[in-house]
Amino acid sequence: MNTDVLVIGGGAAGPTAAPVLARARHRVTLIDDQTYRNATVDEFHGFPTRDATAPHRFRADAVRELTSYGVAFVASTVTRVDATDRIVRVALDDGTTIAASAMLLATGVQDDLSPIDGLAQRWGKSVFNCPFCDGWEQRDQSAVVIDAAPGAEHLVGMLRSWTPNVTIVDAGDVAALTGHGATLDQVVLSDGNTIVATAAFLKAPVIREAHWPNTLAAKSTPPATSSPATAAQRATHSCGLPEMSADHHRHRIKWCSPQQTAPPPPSPFTRPSSPRAATPARPGDGVPGGHAGNGPGSHP
């Protein structure tokens, strides 16, 4: 065994957990393949003492702190996990393996961006996911909510706390986003109409990059046998990770246990054809502290 705890993921969560483990005198190895959710963001907000900090600066500072506690860093992708009751062993994309007593997953999620012309280059610049993160800068401006997942109507309600000028459109009705550089001037619809806006908020599906919690849950069940399972039997419980494609397309994800292949529950939202006017605000709509996400009640 060459480390005590493996922390997989070096975005925000991994470097938050790692110092607690290191200060508890565990030998920690942090593995990260540097595909952060906020990779395109110039600065994040709402983090006490670090408001408007560039994410890369935050991570560099975190690495410096962790290095002082002896945390080891590996820049690589974990492609496979094998676990027994006593040991967890991860395989990296270069073929090497690392073993530890425990593993902490901080692998985050990715946003499944709609294939709208001009969207990808504006993601994190003038197209956002979360009004708590970027609503302040857009206060009293014209904003468009692009509906690509359940929860968009709720996002509209929340956004009204920052600006009354909110229009909602279905993602399928948006042809392009235009503006100088990464700024946004107009949302161009498929029928040729345009909406003037300085920001868009995309309600996108989120994709979990890796499915280890489910994978390991499936693996932790001993084989059905009347006699105590041997270490060898237990060690046969393993599962390849989902294919780690560059675009993290959700259809390429392989689940490891049958019950996890069930489709998600149906959305409580009806999806009228767009473009459409945002519904009038209701009492309680748009109260910061509410939630939006891939369904009612979840965070963006």
Ligand X SMILES: Cc1cc2nc3c(=O)[nH]c(=O)nc-3n(C[C@H](O)[C@H](O)[C@H](O)COP(=O)(O)OP(=O)(O)OC[C@H]3O[C@@H](n4cnc5c(N)ncnc54)[C@H](O)[C@@H]3O)c2cc1C
Binding site for ligand X (CB under 6 A): 8-14, 31-38, 41, 44-47, 77-78, 106-108, 111, 123-124, 128-130, 133, 209-210, 244
Is the Cβ of residue 20 or residue 194 nearer to ligand X in the bound state?
20
**Using omega within 30 degrees of 0 as the cis cutoff, is the peptide bond preceding 275 cis?**
yes
**Residue 270 C-beta: closest distance to ligand X, Å:** 27
Phi and psi at residue 51, to the nearest 5°: -60, 140
Q: Among residues 164, 157, 187, 165, which one has the least CA distance to residue 274?
A: 187
Share in percent of the chain as helix, strand, coil (round to 5): 20, 25, 55
Is the Cβ of residue 105 or residue 168 nearer to ligand X in the bound state?
105
The Cα 253–Cα 256 span in angstroms is: 10
**Residue 26 C-beta: closest distance to ligand X, Å:** 19
**Residue 293 C-beta: closest distance to ligand X, Å:** 12
The Cα 294–Cα 89 span in angstroms is: 33
**Residue 124 C-beta: closest distance to ligand X, Å:** 4
**Residue 278 C-beta: closest distance to ligand X, Å:** 21
Whether the Cβ atoms of residue 158 and residue 286 lie closer than 8 Å to each other: yes
Is the Cβ of residue 31 or residue 187 nearer to ligand X in the bound state?
31
Whether the Cβ atoms of residue 244 and residue 77 lie closer than 8 Å to each other: yes
Is the Cβ of residue 77 or residue 114 nearer to ligand X in the bound state?
77
Is the Cβ of residue 78 or residue 149 nearer to ligand X in the bound state?
78
Is the Cβ of residue 156 or residue 199 nearer to ligand X in the bound state?
199
Whether the Cβ atoms of residue 1 and residue 100 lie closer than 8 Å to each other: yes
The Cα 191–Cα 272 span in angstroms is: 16
Q: What is the 3-state secondary structure (H, E, C) of 46-70?
A: CCCCCCCECHHHHHHHHHHHHHHCC
**Residue 149 C-beta: closest distance to ligand X, Å:** 14
**3-class secondary-structure state, position 109:** strand
Is the Cβ of residue 33 or residue 82 nearer to ligand X in the bound state?
33
Instruction: Find the residue with minimal CB distance to ligand X.
Output: 11
**Residue 36 C-beta: closest distance to ligand X, Å:** 4
Whether the Cβ atoms of residue 9 and residue 59 lie closer than 8 Å to each other: no
